[in-house]
A and B are shown apart, each in its own frame.
Chain A
Amino acid sequence: MNGFQRLIFPVYARVTGPRRRRKTRATDKGRIVQTGIIVTAALGIDTDLTLIYQLFAFLLCLAIIARIGIKLRKPQVTVTRVLPGYATCGEPFQYTVRVSNNGTKPEQDLVVNDVPKTIHPTLEEFKDTREPEEEKRNAYDRFIGFHHYLWLMRQKTGIYSKPAKVPVVPVMGSASAKIEATPLRRGRVSFNYIAVAHPDPLGITFGLKVIDRPQELTVLPKRYRISTDYELPGGRHYQPGGVNSAWSIGESDEFVSLRDYRDGDSMRKIHWASTAKRDKPVVREYQDEYYVRQALVLDTAGGDPDLLEETVSVAASFALRVDTNDSLLDLMFVNDQPFQCTAGRGLAHAEQLLEILASVRHSTQDFSQLSQSVLSHAPLLSGAILVLMDWEEDRKALVKQLRALNIALLIFVIVHELPEAAPDEDLHYLVVGKVEEGLSLLSS
């Protein structure tokens, strides 16, 4: 960030509003007319030299009369937004905006713009972030920094939607416009209002009817494909219980056989029918059974936003990959305090885990909090997937202790660049931006 950018930073936020309105209000031809006005104003300034000033005057009048023409007929419509339950970060999706006509004439040539609630970045955020591929921008753009601001504002706003044409809306009827939107970040994104754009008689500019429609949408983290051939840790310790309908989890009981009563056996275990038949106390013998219980440990301490995003995405990919019909999955991470959520066997569903992952932030605590939480839970675990943002002493210590407890581990460390040292057998480095490639190597 240079001194100039620091100086004009407050101006960025003021410029973005008019810029969006200008873009929304001009049709394709309108843009050409606007450009023509600017060019002819510059070239036609000397009325002695050329007649270009006549073109300027004509285009200016065209633009002014078009703006006035908008007022001739405003649309009398109401709108309803129909959003899907979830969207996924980075994946375009379609939703519907229903436009109802309350007027006395059919509504034609309308365009709907669904406008999200704009969140402007702070100076610190602007300073601390870098636009992807910023080095490809020209020197002027890099110096001014406005494109960086726009990118950051879009990221924080979280969703970008394209304007959509509305079919003819009959009188007292309705029509649907399909809007294509792309979520740019995970978490909850807010829609603010729907602007119904209606053209002027000349077709060069739009008037806007703004209808407040605040609504929220949960954007799930980006997920990667993980091969189904890959065997997750703890699988080899699996003991077939076969009681898929059982509601008790962990050390539940399974009937094995009958045996004679021994002192200390609970009266509740007496099998009365056999006791009567054999005329001596007979009790039911049970055997403990174990289910696969895996932990999905998410490291949120330290690291930069890119690392955190990839960490969450990898965790989300495994949350969907683990079969929660026959096993349990404990999602563990630390935000302000340690957090654990168990999915599977009638408890939470994988979708709920994704919803939780959508709101994961950087931890305010250090990594030891997470270590303690995982270790206290370790006796119940048959395996653990650790998604880490660093590979230093605290994290190594946790891994060592878990190995000592014979817990099968699968460790992912998200990095910006691959380290030279060869990783351990169960440790996998995943490079930011190439995570999918890294995960695809797992199957081989």
Chain B
Amino acid sequence: MNQKFIQGATLIFWGLQTEMLLWAVPMAILLEYRHFWNKRWDLEKTDFYRIGDLSIVGLVGLSAFLYLGSSETHILVALLQLMPLVFFPLVTVLAYSTADKIGLDILIYSLRKQPDEDTEWDLHYLYVGLCLISAGTVNEPPIPFLPGAAMIICWSLLPFRSSRYHSVVWPAAVFAVIVSGALAQHGLREAHLAMKAQAAQWFEYWIGQRTDPYKTTTRIGAVGRLKLSDNILFRVAPIGDPEDLLLQEASYNFTVDADWMVLKPNWKELAQPSEYSWEIYPETPTDKHINVYYEFSRRRALLPLPSGTSRIDGFPASILRQSEFGTVSGTGILPTKVYQVIYNSNRDSNLPPANDDVFISTSQSALMKRHRPDVTGMTDSQKVEAVERFFSGYKYSLYQPELDEKTNPLAYFLEERKAGHCEYFATATAMMLRALDIPSRYVVGFSVQEFHPSINAYVVRSRHAHAWVIAWVNKRWQVVDTTPSIWLETEADQSSILQPLFTYLSNNFFSFALWWDDQRIEDYQLYLYIIAFVLVIVLAWRLWRSEQVTIVADAQAGLASNSYPGQESPFYLVESALQEKGLLRHKGESLRNWLHRIRHNRVLPLLDKHYSWRFDPNGISSRDKETLTAEVTHWLAAQSRADDQKEKDKEDEKGQDHSRA
């Protein structure tokens, strides 16, 4: 790239947009200085490979740093913003080398061994593009992005405009590009917003079942073995003594077939006393604390929370809402490594029961009447105990045989198979309690039981997802979990034999990430400067040892050769006028021979005067100069008139042709 200042300007633009001007200015100066320095290093391909490797290592290191660091909300955006820094050494070395273009094999290792594909790129323009993309990652930039980027792109295209076209065409084309580009970007933005609105509607409708606060579909009636994953979803670290917990995601009070749903959740937005701190109830001294290490991958999700949650701290989201059923839903969630939950298990998250909490259909009522234990004269607490005793004879099973269409799966569970998974137990328990006039709700969430002392935290896996029941007893909601306690062991038996290994690795990575989060870059600044200094010294030493080549200062050489006597002769106007007509002068052809060849002998007297001006050691008098200027002007005017006449004749001819036609 011989185009001056384009890279410097782009770097400054990037620096302004990303608030990295302190880096951008020296980088720009270093890159642009090459246009004023006539030494270049004659580098081998292997030298470029080394610098390319350095850039790639830098890129990988930076990616890892950003991935492990918790401060960045979007890794790709942060990485893109820093890309000009990563590739700066490579571009600088290329700028101060004798190489002009270079293959992509310097960056892509696998291409190095392959036969040459004869495709080389001008890395400097690619770098300009990279800087522009990097500058575009800032959403609210100090300088409007599109005008700045458009100016740089058009400037970089300026030397490549074709001389085939009239001089007006290029500016007109650029204007058209700018106008259409501005309209197109506006259109894209509007289209995206419209699409998002539409997609949100679809998403609301088709949203995943488990995280739907309005409805959940159980696997009651499903055939075959239930497959549950060992994936670790999140970790829960108790502050204080470890305590097994049930984390509620959502609760439901109305059932139809295999579905549980909520008809009127009555959402209420949570107060935010300080940034990312959400209050449900005022905190009391007896409240317990847990840290939940859950990185939400979606912007909208339900939070797994213990019953009686009073506050959630350090949870970045735009809105948190809580339903009357204790379900907490987050919108605009940003990825975070950990948030803190403060809770008191003696407090209720659910509001008191309503009519729907005792609703039971006729068929279900009939089924329950056949099986309900005899509770005559019992209090509500005793009824609950009786129900728990009733299910103690049932077994836990992840397998269900195939049934004919007429058989009710719940009836089959209660009467014949007497075995099932948590959803059977929870649904049957809720129905039985309602049949005994005790309000009940179906709850989904996670059972937190797998404690790992090595990380002092509970591990919660996909297979720890659980369903249970809450019953309104003695004017408060009480957990009734009738699923046999061996359910966790039964599901653990299904695990892969490699699971302990994966858990070990995952826990170690988790510990490392926790340690990393505690580190501050300031603590390592000295080491980083030492490494950077050593790298720069090695690089500089290698460059210095490479062979240097002096390039000819084109500009100065050009200036020297361009000044000659007679330079201001008006005859050159005659020459350019003839050339514009397509009567080109061959390379090395004298003006006289050329005029003879193109049969413009009438200009020869002017040429004689021009030659005197140009070559006579004594020069010509100012009067002769004036005469020549006047004659040239006269000739040009005559030519112009002749051209106009020709155009007119042509048009007349066309007109006659039309009239004849």
Q: Residues on A close to B: CB < 8 A?
A: 27-29, 31-32, 35-36, 39-40, 43-44, 46-62, 64-66, 69, 72-73, 101, 104-109, 133, 136-138, 141, 168, 170-173, 198-204
Contacts of A52 in B (CB 8 A): 133, 136-137
Partner of A202, one of B136, B174, B188: B174
- Contact indicator per residue, chain B 259-292, by CB within 8 Å of chain A (1) or not (0): 0000000000000000000000000000000000
CA of A392 to CA of B114, assembled, Å: 37
Q: A49-B77, A202-B170 are in contact. Are A58 and B149 (CB under 8 A)?
A: yes
Contacts of B169 in A (CB 8 A): 69, 72, 201
CA of A405 to CA of B275, assembled, Å: 106
Contacts of A107 in B (CB 8 A): 164
A133 to chain B, nearest CB (A): 6
Q: Residues on B close to A: CB < 8 A?
A: 74, 76-77, 80, 110-111, 113-115, 121-122, 125-126, 129, 132-133, 136-139, 141, 145-146, 149-150, 153, 156-157, 160-165, 169-170, 173-174, 176-178, 180-181, 184-185, 187-189, 192-193, 196, 579, 581-584
Partner of A62, one of B114, B146, B164, B177: B177
CA of A106 to CA of B581, assembled, Å: 8
B115-A136 in contact (CB<8A)? yes
CA of A249 to CA of B163, assembled, Å: 67
B177-A173 in contact (CB<8A)? no
A136-B189 in contact (CB<8A)? no
Beyond contacts A28-B121, A49-B139, A73-B165: 10 other A-B pairs, Cβ-Cβ < 8 A, are A47-B193, A52-B133, A53-B185, A53-B192, A54-B136, A61-B184, A64-B180, A106-B584, A172-B582, A201-B173
Can you list 25 residue pairs at the A/B interface with Cβ under 8 Å?
A29-B157, A36-B133, A39-B133, A46-B192, A47-B192, A49-B139, A50-B137, A51-B145, A54-B181, A54-B185, A55-B133, A55-B136, A55-B149, A58-B149, A58-B177, A58-B185, A61-B180, A73-B164, A137-B114, A138-B111, A168-B584, A171-B581, A172-B582, A202-B160, A204-B160
| A141 nearest CB neighbor, chain B only | B114
A108-B181 in contact (CB<8A)? no
The list of the 3 closest CB pairs from A to B, nearest first, reads A171-B582, A203-B160, A170-B584
| B168 nearest CB neighbor, chain A only | A201
Q: A47-B188, A49-B139 are in contact. Are A203 and B180 (CB under 8 A)?
A: no
Contacts of B176 in A (CB 8 A): 65
Contacts of B153 in A (CB 8 A): 58-59, 62
CA of A31 to CA of B121, assembled, Å: 9
Partner of A57, one of B122, B165, B181, B583: B181
CA of A205 to CA of B113, assembled, Å: 31
Partner of A65, one of B138, B165, B173: B173
| B137 nearest CB neighbor, chain A only | A50
A166 to chain B, nearest CB (A): 12
CA of A83 to CA of B114, assembled, Å: 33
Contacts of B582 in A (CB 8 A): 101, 104-106, 170-172
B181-A199 in contact (CB<8A)? no
B297 to chain A, nearest CB (A): 15
Contacts of B185 in A (CB 8 A): 53-54, 56-58
Contacts of A171 in B (CB 8 A): 581-584
B173-A202 in contact (CB<8A)? yes
A-B contact number at CB 8 A = 167
CA of A65 to CA of B150, assembled, Å: 14
B162-A201 in contact (CB<8A)? yes
B581 to chain A, nearest CB (A): 7
Contacts of A203 in B (CB 8 A): 157, 160-162
CA of A136 to CA of B115, assembled, Å: 8
B136-A29 in contact (CB<8A)? no
Residue among B169, B181, B188 having the largest count of chain A Cβ atoms under 10 Å: B181
B164-A108 in contact (CB<8A)? yes
CA of A58 to CA of B188, assembled, Å: 11
Contacts of B187 in A (CB 8 A): 57
Partner of A50, one of B139, B149, B180, B579: B139
| B158 nearest CB neighbor, chain A only | A203
B74-A200 in contact (CB<8A)? no
B639 to chain A, nearest CB (A): 16
B113-A136 in contact (CB<8A)? yes
B184-A69 in contact (CB<8A)? no
CA of A171 to CA of B129, assembled, Å: 39
A141 to chain B, nearest CB (A): 7
Partner of A43, one of B133, B193, B579: B133
Contacts of A46 in B (CB 8 A): 192
Contacts of A61 in B (CB 8 A): 177, 180-181, 184
A44-B189 in contact (CB<8A)? no
A202-B583 in contact (CB<8A)? no
CA of A133 to CA of B114, assembled, Å: 8
Partner of A201, one of B165, B184, B581: B165
B114-A136 in contact (CB<8A)? yes
A50-B77 in contact (CB<8A)? yes
Contacts of B121 in A (CB 8 A): 28, 31-32
